[in-house]
Amino acid sequence: ETGVTQSPTHLIKTRGQQVTLRCSSQSGHNTVSWYQQALGQGPQFIFQYYREEENGRGNFPPRFSGLQFPNYSSELNVNALELDDSALYLCAILSRQGVNTEAFFGQGTRLTVV
Amino acid sequence: KQEVTQIPAALSVPEGENLVLNCSFTDSAIYNLQWFRQDPGKGLTSLLLIQSSQREQTSGRLNASLDKSSGRSTLYIAASQPGDSATYLCAVKTGANNLFFGTGTRLTVIP
């Protein structure tokens, strides 16, 4: 296991506010991805960071932004929150072992926008 | 665009039964396929990873198969237990490095 930790676990925000979610891993993997999972749906890819640079983005507006730090921890920032942003936000690290690249997820942050 | 479908959406079985969960994907150009388990309100736990060149992987009572050319994977669970109750998600990894997920199969194992 790679010990992916997300904080906070739960969060309630008001429409129009901004939020920052955090992710770190025990092993300091250099590739981190963020996903949004609405209730009853599969996770949807938001973006990915590799060595502090964004290197892939899903169909999400620019108000979803991120950072990756030198220690490979990461943040997801969402501005101008909308009610539809209510979801479980998942962080994943990619662990490369030879030709295998396996994704390991954190426990998620449950965001509720009211 | 890659689309992943999981059938059935929900499944209820008595304890001890063997069962099969299905996953299909539209674009066969994948690097690997991963099966995950998700308990209510929790994150994803990786169960099995199958490389595109492999046909199956086994871990304990779980066996996953992959037929890349037909865009199908199955997760076989032997001798199901109440603790297996969860949502099972499959995801395919493409060249863009992100995962495409299905909507999951919600499994209930009845004691």
Q: Quick check: A29 pLDDT over 80?
A: no
User: Going by DSSP bridges, is the β-strand pair A4-7/A19-25 parallel, antiparallel, or unpaired?
Assistant: antiparallel
Say if the Cβ atoms of A48 and B98 lie within 8 Å: yes
Q: Tell me whether A30 touches chain B (CB under 8 Å).
A: no
Nearest CB to B98; choose among A33, A88, A102: A33
Q: What is the 3-state secondary structure (H, E, C) of A80-91?
A: CCCHHHCEEEEE
pLDDT band, residue A71 (cuts 50/70/90): confident
| DSSP at A108 | -
For B105, other C-beta atoms within 10 Å of its C-beta total 21
Q: How confident is the model at residue A46 (pLDDT cuts 50, 70, 90)?
A: very high
Buried b (16+ CB within 10 A) or exposed e, A18-36: ebebbbbbeeebebbbbbb
Mean pLDDT in residue range A12-30? 91
Instruction: Give the pLDDT confidence score for residue A28 in this predicted structure.
Output: 67
pLDDT in tens, A78-107: 999 999 999 999 999 988 777 778 899 999
Residue A100 has a pLDDT of 75
- In whole angstroms, give the CA distance from residue B19 to residue B13: 8
User: Per the CB < 8 Å rule, is A105 touching B103?
Assistant: no
Average pLDDT over residues B73-101: 94
Asked whether the beta carbons of residue A108 and residue B51 sit closer than 8 angstroms, the reply is no
Q: Does B45 touch chain A (CB under 8 A)?
A: yes
* DSSP bridge partners of A75: A22, A67
Does any CB of chain A come closer than 8 Å to the CB of residue B96?
Answer: yes
* Better-scored residue on pLDDT, B69 or A26: B69
CA A104, A62, A20, B43 dihedral sign is: negative
Phi, psi at B7, each rounded to 5°: -135, 135
Q: How confident is the model at residue B95 (pLDDT cuts 50, 70, 90)?
A: confident
